Amino acid sequence: MEAELMTLAASGATTLVGLMVSESWTQARTRLAAFFTRGGSEPTGTEQELDAARRELTTAQAEGNDVVAADIEAEWRTRLRRALEADPAAAADLRALLDELTPLAATPAAPVTNTITGGTQHGPVLQGRDFSDLTFHTQPPPSPETPPVHP
């Protein structure tokens, strides 16, 4: 059982750190704090600890400091392991939480810069990030020699 808890704690820490640098952090932070404080204290202190770790992690990543990032993950892995050892029934709660949050960790926070230059755009213009499976049905632009036809 110990190896299973260690694996679960490692998976949880990896997901937690991934969420810290995702656009879903605010949503995930509340759920994670509730896990760490279930049946006990208020989650506010844990939320503050999570936020402090997030600030440290984003600074480390911006500076390319992989050692600090690894330390943060190790710290939360240890906290998860201790929580699971103290209450083995929490493993089911953590598994359910990871099933819910893991997809959110897959989307890292990244700045989006959109620029449109030039004249008239003859068709849809999208601004954003990560578009897929789009289909547009547009009319070709009118030729300069013929006046536009209005239905």
pLDDT at 36: 85
Complete DSSP assignment for the chain? -HHHHHHHHHHHHHHHHHHHTBTTHHHHHHHHHHHHTTTSS-THHHHHHHHHHHHHHHHHHHTT-HHHHHHHHHHHHHHHHHHHHH-TTHHHHHHHHHHHHHHHHTSB---------SS---S----SS---S-----PPPPPTTSPPP--
Q: How far apart are CA 59 and CA 9, in angstroms?
A: 24
pLDDT at position 75 is 94
* Burial state string for 96-118 with b = 16 or more CB within 10 A and e = fewer than 16: ebbeebeebbeeeeeeeeeeeee
**pTM score, two decimals?**
0.64
pLDDT value at position 39? 60
pLDDT mean for each 10 residues of the chain (151 residues):
81 88 85 81 79 92 90 92 88 90 66 70 67 69 65 63
Give pLDDT, residue 52.
93
Would you state the pLDDT for residue 50?
Answer: 92
User: What is the pLDDT, as a whole number, of residue 144?
Assistant: 67
Q: Can you tell me the distance from the alpha carbon of 132 to that of 143, in angstroms, rounded to the nearest whole number?
A: 30
User: What pLDDT, on the 0 to 100 scale, is given for residue 146?
Assistant: 59
